[in-house]
Amino acid sequence: MKIINIIILVLLALFQGVFSVAAEYLQAPVAIHISSTISDGDLPLEEIVRLARNNGFQAVVITDRDYLQWEYGLWPLRNLIKTRQSMPSLATYGAGKYLERIAALQQQYNDIIIIPGTESAPFYYWEGSPYTQNFKLKNWHKHILVIGLDKAADYENLPSVVNKKSLRQPWETADLKLLWPFLLLILGVICIRKRKYNYSDEQGHALGPYSGFWRTLGLTIIFFSLLGIVNNYPYRRLAFDQYHGDKGTQPYQFLIDYAERHGALTYWAHPEATNISQRSDISIETGYDADNLLRTQRYTGFAIFYDGFNKIGKIGGLWDTILKEYCAGQRSTPIWSIAAVAYDQGGNLDSRLQSLETVALVSELSQAAILEALKKGRLYVIEGDRKLRLQQFKITDTKTQVASVAGEQLRVQGYPQLEISGGGVPGPVKIQLVRNGLKIKTFEVKTPFMINYTDKIHEAGKKIYYRLEISNEKTVLVTNPVFVDFSE
């Protein structure tokens, strides 16, 4: 019996040894959020891919705009009497053609992964009147990146206030009110059949002449009823439109849910940005509203760089609030940070690519592996000097020696032991260790660095997380969290 017990213990030790370390991942630099001349960018796709390759990226995510259009229609015939401004986008270029071009480029360049996506503005609304000085286009610059759709139909059906067919709701009795033009049509027919005198022959046939006044009125009513019939087609309500004020997060959650159903990833782009501009007599205004991240659910993440670091991504900011909600069971999914190049027509793409990077931890270099790393948060992000590298951010259970990395979850029976190493740039760096939104330790070290730190904490039955913020004078590096579940 003793021999059997010894054999079992040896096998358990060997089994534990096999799984005692986190999986070894490759680090793949990814450039995310770049528009081409297909929409609002100023560089063709080929040039974007060339610049990404020259700057050492192993993957690039193209995010041309889905719709670049707004329109205003006059009530009650908003779909017939309207003005529209439209610019190049995937809607005008063709989603199928867009995917074919990316596929052709992928065939041409086998040393970089090219992933299709889109930047979507699912909603805007009008405020004021076109006849006064207070006419405003609101919230047109609240954008969400949708990454990983691979069918043309999925792009063509993206829910947007511009894409009305995508917003049609299932028919209900409330839609009967949209049939009002048919009542008007009946009234018009009654009017044109009205006669000057109400008398008839012995057989009951009306003999009085038709009334010219009533006939003219009836034809006028019929004309407007036909306009209403065409205007209201297909006689179904829309989930929302641009004429009834701010709809809060409804349009954005609508898009997030659609993308989730189609296996795509969603990120709030530049969530801290505001935009105030003027086109002709129209004021365009999008105010700061980072709380949208709190009020929406099940999106993949947000762009911490750029325009997401000062209030959302800072230590103790909204990101930490959301991560704590996840740990407390108040959210079904965590959210991850990415670095977004956010390039369209402004600035120099080569310069932007040198200072913004999302590093994906992948098992192999493939589109599927990159998308999996993005989905699961196996990432860290850099703004500044891209030579700064985090070689290891791993948490190991001191009792079982099982380990996990950023984006993963670790069941801990003992204490969390952190291994942090990196380098690539000369001079000192400051490493801030964050636990549940609070800075618990700061390491000021010279590069290259290697730190082993055991956090003597074990809160039975509780889920917490750790993340890092590493910085020097020129650069900030932020990791996604490692979640720790303490065993009972």
The two tokens of residue 151 are: 């069918």
Say if residue 334 is exposed, middle or buried (CB neighbours under 10 Å; 0-12, 13-18, 19+): buried
Mean pLDDT for 265-276 is: 94
Q: What band does 201 get if pLDDT is binned at 50, 70 and 90?
A: low
CATH number for the domain running over 384-488: 2.60.40.10
State the pLDDT at residue 142: 96
Query: Side chain identity at 184, as an amino acid letter?
Result: L
- Helix or strand or coil: residue 180? helix
Q: What band does 382 get if pLDDT is binned at 50, 70 and 90?
A: very high
Mean pLDDT for 123-149 is: 93
Whether residue 81 has pLDDT greater than 80? yes
Q: 11-25, 85-99, 125-139, 275-289: which has the highest mean pLDDT?
A: 85-99
Mean pLDDT for 389-393 is: 97
Domain boundaries along the sequence of the chain: 21-168+243-383, 173-232, 384-488
Whether residue 2 has pLDDT greater than 50? no
Q: Rounded to whole angstroms, what are the CA distances from 474 to 42, 175, 289, 383? A: 28, 58, 28, 8
Mean pLDDT for 102-124 is: 97
The two tokens of residue 121 are: 């503005």
Q: What share of the chain is helix, strand, coil (3-state, %, to 5)?
A: 30, 30, 40
Q: CATH classification of 21-168+243-383, choosing from 3.20.20.70, 3.40.1280.10, 3.20.20.140, 3.40.640.10?
A: 3.20.20.140
Distance separating alpha carbons of residues 478 and 339, to the nearest angstrom: 10
Q: Regarding beta strands 82-86 and 416-423, do their DSSP bridges make them parallel or antiparallel, or are they unpaired?
A: unpaired
Bridge partner list, 386: none
Burial 264-302 (b: 16+ CB within 10 A, else e): bbbbbbbbbbeeeeeeeebbbbbeebbebbeebbebbbb
Q: What band does 177 get if pLDDT is binned at 50, 70 and 90?
A: very high
Cα-based torsion angle of the residue sequence 285, 287, 293, 295 in order, rounded to the nearest 10 degrees: -90
Percentage above 70 pLDDT, the chain? 94
Distance separating alpha carbons of residues 338 and 355, to the nearest angstrom: 13
Cα dihedral sign for 179, 180, 184, 189?
positive
Number of helices (H), then strands (E), belonging to the chain: the values are 12, 25
Distance of CA 113 to the CA centre of its chain: 20
State the pLDDT at residue 6: 37
Cα-based torsion angle of the residue sequence 350, 355, 361, 367 in order, rounded to the nearest 10 degrees: -20
Chain segment 303-359, per-residue pLDDT in tens: 999 899 999 999 999 999 999 999 999 999 999 999 999 999 878 999 999 999 999
17 C-beta neighbours (distance < 10 Å), count: 10
Mean pLDDT for 239-266 is: 97
Q: How much is the mean pLDDT over the chain? A: 92
Q: 1-5, 109-113, 171-175: which has the highest mean pLDDT?
A: 109-113
Say if residue 66 is exposed, middle or buried (CB neighbours under 10 Å; 0-12, 13-18, 19+): buried
CATH topology match: 21-168+243-383 vs 384-488: no
Whether residue 62 has pLDDT greater than 80? yes
State the pLDDT at residue 204: 67
Q: What band does 16 get if pLDDT is binned at 50, 70 and 90?
A: very low
Chain segment 157-170, per-residue pLDDT in tens: 999 999 999 999 99
Whether residue 454 has pLDDT greater than 90? yes
Mean pLDDT for 382-396 is: 97
Query: Side chain identity at 340, as an amino acid letter?
Result: A
Q: Which helix (H) or strand (E) holds 429?
A: strand 428-435
